[in-house]
Every structure is written in C-alpha cells, then in structure tokens.
Amino acid sequence: MLSIKNLHASIDDKAILKGLNLEMKAGEVHAIMGPNGSGKSTLASVLAGKEDYEVTEGEVLYHGKDMLDMAPEERAGEGLFLAFQYPVEIPGVSMVNFMRASLNSIREYRKQEPLSAGQFLKLMREKKEIVNLDDKLLKRAVNEGFSGGEKKRNEIFQMAMLEPSLVLMDETDSGLDIDALRIVSDAVNQFRSKDNAFLVITHYQRLLEYIVPDFVHVLSEGKIVRSGGKELALELEEKGYDWLKEGVGA
C-alpha cells in the first residue's frame, strides 16, 4: 500500500529525514517511536504534502502511484488522512459546513455523487457517536474553543467520516486523559480493517497498549534505526532511547 524508499526531506535547508525506508501493507498497524527531534512529525507532514518541507531525494509510492507528485488535496482524495498533533482553529467556519465541504470534495475526486444534506447529517449523527462527540461541538466553528481532548476526538471523528485507507496519527495521545485515550483507541480499533493501514506516531508506549501495532519502528536522526514487533515498544519504555543511539554508534 505504502512504500517509502530512501526518503530525504529538509526544511529551510536543514535536513530532517535522511534516508528513511518503510513498507506498509493493507491491514497493518505500524508504530513510529523516537525521541524528540528525530523527525517523527516531519514524516507525517511530508507524507501529507505540507509545503514547508522539501523532499530532496527518494520516492513514496501509494497504491503504486507517485505520491510526492500530488497536491495535499489529491493525497486526501486518494485516501490519506492525517490526524494532526495540533489541530488548528478556523473561526467562523462551522464543523458541519467544513465536514460537508471536505467529504463532498473527496467524493468529487473519486467521481462519486455529493451527499445530500439529509444523507450527510445522518452519516454525521452515526459517526459522532463513535467518538462520543458532543452535538454542541459540531455546531461550533472548527476546533474553536475545543479542549485539547475534544480536538483530538474531533480528528478521529473526521477520520471516521472520510473513511481513509491510510491514516497517519501524529501524537494523537498527547494531551489525552485516560478516558479520552480509551474512546479514541476504541474508535480506531473499530475502524481498523484488512483494507486500511495505520501509521501511529507516538512518543510513549502507552497508546500502543490500546492500539496494538503489528510493527514498531524506532526513528532516530531521520532514519529508522530499528524495527520489531510490539514488544519493541515495551523495551523502549523500559530503557529509554539513549541505548539505541549508542547501539547505532557501536
């Protein structure tokens, strides 16, 4: 589904990703862990197509298509979804309108008919239940006045609405209390299927107790320095990241 080969990316001429390789198949959940500054969030931004980053080398194929050539909205149309670490507020734009515009433009990209207002509202009522999102929030402007936890749940709500095939979760667990973490994880687990894949970026092992990964990768200084099964996350939790750096050097 996703094939990243020798990816190099920089921002303001500063190299952040330095030859990253990753293969993901449908149905898999991959976790990316690593210390601060290792390039985790950069990876998510580059994959989603954020303009500030320049890809200097390498290729990313998504369903066999060259993804680096696509605009962010085309990647979204192809089924990529990024759950943001810091979801932005858009004053004056109601969640309902935003979501409808979003869903219908993705449907248009896929040459599907737009949903009528009735169909759309029905779908929204269904999906908001999954993440236990308050009706009041949907009537408010996008993320405006949402608490940290509400913003994160709102990201997962949008994921459920858009039904992407590849989900990037950028530190979705940060700022979540244990109840919210459980709600978010349940929603993700419910949505997991043999047809979609998840790339879960996290600093802590905690989230991976709820969203159990098939593979864990450790990112350090812009490269994946170690890959393993879910037990690798536990090992990291116990030992910290420093031993890995030494390991690389040795």
The residues that touch another protein, with contacts defined as CB under 8 A, are 48-52, 71-73, 75-77, 81-82, 84, 87-88, 90-93, 97-98, 101-103, 105-106, 109, 141, 158, 162
Identify which of residues 95 and 216 has a Cβ nearer to another protein in the complex. 95
CB 82, min distance to another protein, A: 5
CB 68, min distance to another protein, A: 15
CB 106, min distance to another protein, A: 4
Identify which of residues 74 and 186 has a Cβ nearer to another protein in the complex. 74
DSSP 88: P
CA-CA distances (angstroms) from residue 219 to 30, 35, 38, 216, 238? 12, 8, 6, 10, 17
Runs of H (alpha helix) within the chain: 40-48, 72-77, 95-109, 117-130, 135-139, 148-162, 178-191, 206-210, 231-239, 242-249
Identify which of residues 33 and 171 has a Cβ nearer to another protein in the complex. 171
CB 72, min distance to another protein, A: 4
CB 127, min distance to another protein, A: 15
Identify which of residues 99 and 244 has a Cβ nearer to another protein in the complex. 99
Identify which of residues 161 and 233 has a Cβ nearer to another protein in the complex. 161
Tell me how far the alpha carbon of residue 16 is from its chain's centroid.
19
Q: Which residues of 45-71 are buried (b: 16+ CB within 10 A; e: fewer)?
A: bbbbbeeebeeeebebebeeeebbebe
Whether residue 226 contacts residue 244, with contact meaning beta carbons closer than 8 Å, is answered with: yes
